Structure 1
Amino acid sequence: MLGQAYARRRLAVPKRDKDRRAFQRRLKTGEVVMPYKGMYIAAAKWESLPYAQRITWALRTVCHTHPGWVLCGPSAAGALGFTTTIKLQRYVHIAVPKRSQAGRHGYVIAHFYKDMPAVKTVDGMRVTAEMDTMMDCGRMLDFEHAMVVCCTGLRLSGLPQHRLREYARGRKRISGIPRARYVAEHADPACENGGEATALAAILEVGACRPRMQATFVSPLSGGEIRADFLWERDDGSLVVGELDGRQKYVDPSMMGQGDSIDVILREKDRETQLNMLRVDVVRFQMEHVRDRGQLRQRLQAAGVPFEPVRRRSPFSGFRCKAY
């Protein structure tokens, strides 16, 4: 049963009682795991799958078991590849046309839609279309995860940022729409990965001015292109670049190009030197600083990054996400 499921990139779903008991015995020994109730996969196989595949394998199984369901919110975002954060998939979110069907039912959270959104099929999964998926995540999720979904969604779908803003402004009388509009206003498809989107959300939350993403400079040595993660211009016209240092580029061979982690570090240092030659200051920060808002604010302020003179209240203030 497991082999047949793997061939279809799904989890095994036993139908007979004796098969369920067999899986439950193996579940107790740790030989298999159960991401959702009644759906099993070998523990070693599950650990070998990247997070993106864990999400799609599990959701594809759900959609195969319940062909009439339409994934929405974080589940649709996972199916579309807009997020690879596994904790967002604690529940399966589906869209329903009747208010009486809404609510939490075990591992499923059903969301009522007065007007059902557009639906598309992606790799065997029925999901809400890209724009509705991003809007729903803006309404349902905390700012950080909503930004990751919307920045990634804009980049992968090729939809322009103004379309998302216009779509959000056109939605009325929907729970959480002020949060979705706030996300649509700040989401940027220039974020190349979830780490940059998370950092952008944190930068805005600490009150720094919105940076320009992926700004380019001309190398004073080779004449080639130098790209910066974040860029600010101070009041006096001077520039400061923000660089997010993630661990992956130092440990993932596919990101090292020709060389090893030492070569990556040396290239980073040389790149920073060239920016300094252009009289551009550089402030580096890591994900641990992004997670600790106090440390991030301190670094940005010490580097002279401009901050908003008057911070407006975020619609996410006091919001408690219940989607995962």
Structure 2
Amino acid sequence: MKEHKGVTALLRTAERERRCAIGKAGDAIYHALRRRVKALEVVSPYPNLFADVLYWNNLDPEERSLHVIRSLAQHHPRWTFAGLSAACVYGYQHSYALHDGSVSIASPKGSGHGVAKQLRRLYMHKIPRRRFHGIPVTSPARTLIDCAAIPFADALAIYDSALRNGHVTIADVETLMIQIACDEAAVAKLLKHANPLRENGGESWTYAHIIGLGYAEPSFQAEFANPETPSMPYRVDFCWRLADGRVIVGEYDGMAKYADTSNPNRASLQAKLDYEHRREHALKSQGVTAVTHLFYEDVKDSARLDAKLAGAGVPRIR
């Protein structure tokens, strides 16, 4: 389709500001944007919001949500973003799979969907409004309470991340929990297991599945001497020290630890494997009796995870 200078300028300005372009219903540029949506040159992830399709396709799911949120914050300055939307603004780690195109805001008038099908309203009698990076959001404690509606294994990553960032304490959430109507059982379970020592969302997610299968609680980020660089000890994701002297280490390796071909400066696959071999040798020389590597595919499949943990000798407590 022939270039429209007004559309191009609007889209490029929005891209520089890391948001979607905002259309004005009825004007010429809006109609030009709608024609380009039909021609698959532009996407409209939310009513009256637009982005160049190539630009949009290069964004991950979280960034897409943030682009919509930034636009809506500009267009509706009185809105307060809540739930997963607020967690995104705060930068709390979570699974991309949670993003379904919806946006959540706090509402004193009732819960449910808004005029746009993507808009979810979360009822709050009193909205604890904050500003983070210029965007109105619910307080960290209220955000965590609302995120308890997310499945436990995914919500735990958000709780761990908020604690790790120092935005909130367990006591903050407990205090608010008894003051408002919420799913106290879900929040209490998350607070019981939340731990800022887990370094990323993958570790939180893996831990949730480990205890979900009834295995014993591990310790986190246990340190072992590094003979090659003594000032940088090895830290392992999960460690079980058993009464009979066995020491079992679990490492969450994600989906593509050794297969990332996108970075031109990456170490060679062989160098990575050699490093892991030296690291594992050093761990075993310090009493570690088993090292099990847990990949995304293992954790996602409960039978595979169960087999790996059982095979490594991790004790089951229920």
TM-score by length of 1: 0.85
1:282 aligns with 2:291: yes
Separation in 2, partners of 1:59, 1:165 = 25
1:135 aligns with 2:145: yes
CA separation of 1:251/1:97 partners in 2, compared to 1, >3 Å: closer, same or farther? same
The residue aligned with 1:227 is 235
Q: 1:116 aligns with which of 124, 127, 144?
A: 127
- For structure 1, list consecutive stretches of 5 or more residues without a partner in the other structure: 310-324
Pairs aligned (count): 303
1:107 aligns with 2:112: no
- The answer (yes or no) to whether the contact 1:51–1:84 under 8 Å persists in 2 is no
User: Taking every aligned residue pair, what percent have the same amino acid on both sides?
Assistant: 30
- The answer (yes or no) to whether the contact 1:52–1:81 under 8 Å persists in 2 is no
Q: What does 1:290-301 correspond to in 2, within 5 Å?
A: 290-301=299-310
The residue aligned with 1:312 is none
Shift in Å at residue 306 of structure 1?
1.8
Shift in Å at residue 200 of structure 1?
1.1
Show CA shifts across 1:111-158 (max 9, x none).
Answer: 1112322x21122310011121112102x1111221111111111235
Partner SS, residue 40 of structure 1: strand
Q: What does 1:54-133 correspond to in 2, within 5 Å?
A: 54-83=64-93, 85-89=95-99, 90-99=101-110, 102-105=111-114, 106-117=117-128, 119-133=129-143
Q: 2:200 aligns with which of 173, 193, 196?
A: 193
Partner SS, residue 199 of structure 2: coil
Q: 1:174 aligns with which of 169, 181, 184?
A: 181
Separation in 2, partners of 1:81, 1:274 = 35
Stretch of structure 1 that moved more, 213-222 or 70-79: 213-222
Partner SS, residue 230 of structure 1: strand
Shift in Å at residue 50 of structure 1?
4.0
The residue aligned with 2:5 is none
Partner SS, residue 216 of structure 1: strand
Partner SS, residue 258 of structure 2: helix
The residue aligned with 1:245 is 253
Separation in 1, partners of 2:166, 2:17 = 26
The residue aligned with 1:317 is none
Letter in 2 for 1:155: R
Shift in Å at residue 255 of structure 1?
8.9
Q: 2:315 aligns with which of 306, 312, 319?
A: 306
Letter in 1 for 2:192: E
Separation in 1, partners of 2:36, 2:139 = 38
Show CA shifts across 1:148-199 (max 9, x none).
Answer: 1111111123545x4356446x525623221011011101111211111111
- The answer (yes or no) to whether the contact 1:241–1:282 under 8 Å persists in 2 is yes
Letter in 1 for 2:186: R
Letter in 2 for 1:149: I
CA separation of 1:84/1:50 partners in 2, compared to 1, >3 Å: closer, same or farther? farther
- The answer (yes or no) to whether the contact 2:140–2:167 under 8 Å persists in 1 is no
Stretch of structure 1 that moved more, 127-136 or 173-182: 173-182
Q: 1:209 aligns with which of 203, 216, 221?
A: 216
Separation in 2, partners of 1:270, 1:178 = 45
Q: What does 1:7-18 correspond to in 2, within 5 Å?
A: 7-17=16-26, 18=28
CA separation of 1:254/1:45 partners in 2, compared to 1, >3 Å: closer, same or farther? closer
1:265 aligns with 2:273: yes
Partner SS, residue 201 of structure 1: helix
The residue aligned with 1:313 is none
Show CA shifts across 1:27-68 (max 9, x none).
Answer: 223212222222111111112234443232221011111111
Shift in Å at residue 216 of structure 1?
0.7
Higher relative contact order (CA 8 A, sep 6+): 1
Separation in 2, partners of 1:125, 1:163 = 25
The residue aligned with 1:320 is none
Partner SS, residue 183 of structure 1: helix
- The answer (yes or no) to whether the contact 2:161–2:196 under 8 Å persists in 1 is yes
Separation in 2, partners of 1:158, 1:67 = 23
Shift in Å at residue 254 of structure 1?
10
Letter in 2 for 1:153: A
Q: 2:171 aligns with which of 163, 166, 180?
A: 163
Say what the alpha-carbon RMSD is for the aligned residues: 2.4
Q: Which has the larger radius of gyration?
A: 2
